[in-house]
Amino acid sequence: MDSKQVSTKPKSSLKAKVQRFGTALSGMIMPNIAAIIAWGLVTALFMVPGGWMPNKHIAQLINPMLHYLLPLLIGYVGGRMVYEERGAVVGAIATTGVIVGAKVPMFLGAMIMGPLGGWCIKKFDQLFLDKIKTGFEMIYNNFSAGILGMILAIIGQFIVNPLVVSGSNLAAKGVAWIISVHLLPLANVFIEPAKVLFLNNAVGNGILVPLGIQQASQAGKSILFLLESNPGPGLGILLAFCMFGKGNAKASAPGAVLIHFFGGVHEIYFPYILMKPMLIISAILGGVAGTFTFQIMGAGLKAAASPGSIIAVLLMTPKGSYLANLAGVLVAAVVSFVVSVPILKNNKSTDEDLDAKKEQMEQMKSDSKATDPKLDTTNVKVSIQKIIFACDAGMGSSAMGASLLRDKLKKEGVTDVPVTNLAVRNLKPEPNLLVVTQNELAERALEKTPDAMHVSVDNFMNSPRYDEIAQMLKQDNSSVSEVETKQPGHSIFSDIDFAQIKQIRFVTDSHHVGSTTMAVSEFNQELQTADKALRADRVILSDVKDQADQLLVTTTALQADLRAKVSQAQVVVVSNMLENDDLKELVLHLN
């Protein structure tokens, strides 16, 4: 299995750094695509004039959604990417400063102020949070975020707003000039290779969508929405594989056509190009031809077509632009197909040769990432408790891969290991974690979760690695079941050596004051009433120290993470921490 267990943090390559920056931009847009689509639908249906069903009352939604809702959502998500909820709130407050008084949609301003707000409150907490006395946490949390947000909003209003307005106007004029001199099709010379390097979301949602929304708010539609989302180039390549491919590539291509063209998951055709790098020429020429057709026929969309499915393209098409949009998609598909056919027909390799080249390519990629793809997993003594499929956006191909693996695990009787999907940028270190990702994103996944087990695949839709994972977990599950059957009737106190306990800590996974703090207070009252010398306190899971004289109290939801973190400390697991009879009994056992 192509997997590894490492303990040191690897160095980032230039490619990973570029991917990370692009993903940071798209990461602020992707979660808000639904809101952008809602704005686009309202505009397409009810705008007066120009909508399918003009309605002045409903059309009042258009400007507030464009100028306030969307930038605030982007700023909120940008702050959350840096520092969770506190960063999100401060990011949204800071974004308000750049919105006020601006006559252009302040997407760029939100993409600056959101992360800036999150970063500022994160640094502020790092400096002062540990110095706050017990009982003052809430007043610190609320007022520090509020005051800092206010300061950033004022800075945004007086400094960032004028700069961003000038930049947005300059960018809009630049795009208008490129379109006026008919150079826009050349953008696909860069877009298509960038997509294959998994920068499709960064280019599409991080750059083109914000510019497209600004253009659409003024012109009623934008061709920029079509540059990256056009499914034509990928469709032509996959159809060529259906007719002239060989072996597994030909067999899997029809299914890939459906997923790509109607599902909008463009990542599915990237491995076909990686297998035949010459096909990147097909994608580029198809993209250039499609964009040229869009331009001369006046195509455009009301809002982003995300995912890049033909269904999404048609839903976002304004009245009167259907022929132009469909023509651009068709021309792109025909051109990429025609260019791909001779490349595939001149291919003399057999199916076995293709597989061998894929293996060779994987080895070369792994070598460039200083990893060992042949590491034997039988030497990895870890019980997997969670599997995450990670792709660039965390919505399309990874969701399909996770669904496929869930089905395989279910057939093997493995039902206690959750399989989810995330964007690579959202991966966090977790104990007993298995991360499945595509080869091109493996380096970034390894950086985010260096202690996890990693499996990299060519294609989420069809990988033999899934069978290996299922068998591995089936064997692990059987071993656990055998151990459990040998230890019936296990009491939560039967293994506790109370004579060693010198410290009691209630473990939580949240920095916020909540039920755990109340439980500690109630438990200490019980200890005081029982005239016990020991007292308990509260500790964040990440701050837990593995000491033999500690008794750690936690809930069933955290027990797996806690047990993976400690080996010497003694652990008591309860269903809940408030008014729990087990905790009252625990008081009687303590000295």
Catalytic residues: 391
Please check whether residue 24 is in contact with residue 425, taking contact to mean a CB–CB distance below 8 angstroms.
yes
Between the alpha carbon of residue 19 and those of residues 83, 225, 259, 442, 533, the distances in Å are 20, 21, 24, 12, 55
Between the alpha carbon of residue 310 and those of residues 36, 232, 259, 295, 542, the distances in Å are 18, 9, 11, 18, 46
b/e burial code for range 431-470 (CB count within 10 A of at least 16 → b)? bbbbbbbbbbbbbbbbbbbbebbbbbbbbbbbbebbeebb
Collapse the DSSP code of 573 into the 3-class scheme (helix H, G, I; strand E, B; otherwise coil) and give the result.
strand
Collapse the DSSP code of 161 into the 3-class scheme (helix H, G, I; strand E, B; otherwise coil) and give the result.
helix
Say if strands 419-423 and 386-391 run parallel, antiparallel, or are unpaired: parallel
570 vs 548: CA distance, rounded Å: 7
Collapse the DSSP code of 83 into the 3-class scheme (helix H, G, I; strand E, B; otherwise coil) and give the result.
helix
273 vs 92: CA distance, rounded Å: 41
507 vs 559: CA distance, rounded Å: 9
Could you count the other beta carbons within 10 Å of the beta carbon of residue 37? Answer: 18
Please check whether residue 101 is in contact with residue 139, taking contact to mean a CB–CB distance below 8 angstroms.
no
Please check whether residue 169 is in contact with residue 104, taking contact to mean a CB–CB distance below 8 angstroms.
yes
Please check whether residue 583 is in contact with residue 553, taking contact to mean a CB–CB distance below 8 angstroms.
yes
